[in-house]
Structure 1
Amino acid sequence: MRPGNKNFSELDLQGADFSSLDLSDAVFSNSNLESANFEGAELSNADFEGADLSKAKFRDANLEDASFRHVRAINIDLSQNDLTNVELNHGNFTLGQFEYSELNGKTIFGINLYNANLQNALIGKSMFVNASLVDSNLCEADLRQTTFYKADTLLRRRLLIARAAAESRRGQGHRASGARYVPNKPVRVGIGCSGPVAAGSLA
């Protein structure tokens, strides 16, 4: 099914089912899409700027070049998606689900990932600027060459604790992060839940 009119902006579409539809180039700006289902949908170049996407489901959707700028997306499900070319700047993704998603090589500004689940996500070579990741789950996430610039204080503290924990396991057969801390300079750290993980940096 390919909807003819793809302008869905400023509409109340709470709970709508868009699963498996071709919605490429669709415009959903400033719409209420709470609990909407987009699983398996074709959403390349779709525009969700300013929309409410709380509890919306996007698993296995094609989101190439889609925009989630300034969205309110509490508890959104973006797991198992390629988000490499998705615009996420200044979005509120509190409690968002990003497990096994790919965000490699991105620069993201002002994103709120409070208590978000990024377990096993691929975030290598990315830069997070003014991001909030307080209480986020980065267990087993790939953070190689990732930079958190002007990261929130609690994230900085958590990364350093994780680094110390990795070093304490050095004599137990675990690979330590090789981290070091220099005030006001990048900090290389390891993050994870129960074992060696990739290194990221703080600036």
Structure 2
Amino acid sequence: MRSGLVDLSQADLTGVDLRNLNFNDAWFWRAKLRSAKLQGASFQASRFSFADLKYAGLADASLQGAWFYDAQLQEAVLMEAKLQGAVLEHADLRGAYLAEADLHEAVLKGAQLQGADFVSFPTGERAEPTKRLTVEQLAEAMIDDSTRLPEQLHKALQGAAHQRPGAHAGSTSLADGTRNMVAKQADGLLQEASKEGDKPSEEAN
């Protein structure tokens, strides 16, 4: 066990109920947390790299600065989660629910967001969009037509992707040499939409 820290690395915590508990700076490396109930719990700066969090309930959890490198988060519920500065690099978030979550400065490089929902509840009812999600963050992730994004971000990314050479349908990653160009084009589209009276989602806090 690492000194001064809770170390649950490789533990089988399938379905565990840790709601509203404090696990800041804890280690969950390669832990099995499938279908775990983690709503309202605090995991600030905790490490979940390579952990299995499929179907986990993380609504309203405090996850600032937490590490989810290569974690499995398919269909996890992260609505209203506080993910400021969290590292979701190469995490699998396919089908996850992220509406009303705060993703300010979260790292999404290589994250799989196909089928992820940033705008609605699991029931399909509309919710407030994800907070402080930017084009630059999405430009580094993997998205496709099933990714449910706030309307302005969706339009901006679509327009920019169509303008880049070699664009094609299906799953898209913009994390390459064209990323800066695409981000600039998308930001231009967002500014244009703003002048027409639409408010870009990244300005809504």
TM exceeds 0.5?
Answer: yes
The answer (yes or no) to whether the contact 1:83–1:102 under 8 Å persists in 2 is yes
Partner residue, 1:114: 114
1:104 shift after superposition: 3.0
Aligned residues: 167
CA-based RMSD of the aligned residues comes to 3.5
Percent same amino acid among aligned pairs?
23
- Between the aligned partners of 2:35 and 2:198, the Cα distance in structure 1 is 36
- Between the aligned partners of 1:41 and 1:151, the Cα distance in structure 2 is 42
The answer (yes or no) to whether the contact 1:47–1:66 under 8 Å persists in 2 is yes
1:15 shift after superposition: 0.2
Highest Rg: 1 or 2?
1
SS of the aligned residue for 2:108 comes to: strand
- Between the aligned partners of 1:136 and 1:29, the Cα distance in structure 2 is 28
Partner residue, 2:58: 58
SS of the aligned residue for 2:142 comes to: coil
Higher-helix-fraction structure: 2
Deviations 1:97-123 (A, max 9, x none): 100112234442100011000111121
Give the TM-score normalised by the residue count of structure 2. Answer: 0.68
Give the TM-score normalised by the residue count of structure 1. Answer: 0.69
Q: Which amino acid aligns with 2:141?
A: A
- Between the aligned partners of 1:93 and 1:51, the Cα distance in structure 2 is 12
Higher-strand-fraction structure: 1
- Between the aligned partners of 1:46 and 1:93, the Cα distance in structure 2 is 18
Gaps of 5+ in 1: 157-183
- Between the aligned partners of 2:47 and 2:141, the Cα distance in structure 1 is 22
Residues 185 and 45 of structure 1: is their aligned pair in 2 closer, same or farther, counting only changes over 3 Å? Answer: closer
The answer (yes or no) to whether the contact 2:85–2:107 under 8 Å persists in 1 is no
- Between the aligned partners of 2:143 and 2:11, the Cα distance in structure 1 is 31
- Identify the match of residue 198 of structure 1 among 185, 197, 200: 200
Deviations 1:132-189 (A, max 9, x none): 1111101346689989899984366xxxxxxxxxxxxxxxxxxxxxxxxxxx953435
Gaps of 5+ in 2: 120-128, 173-179
Partner residue, 2:17: 17
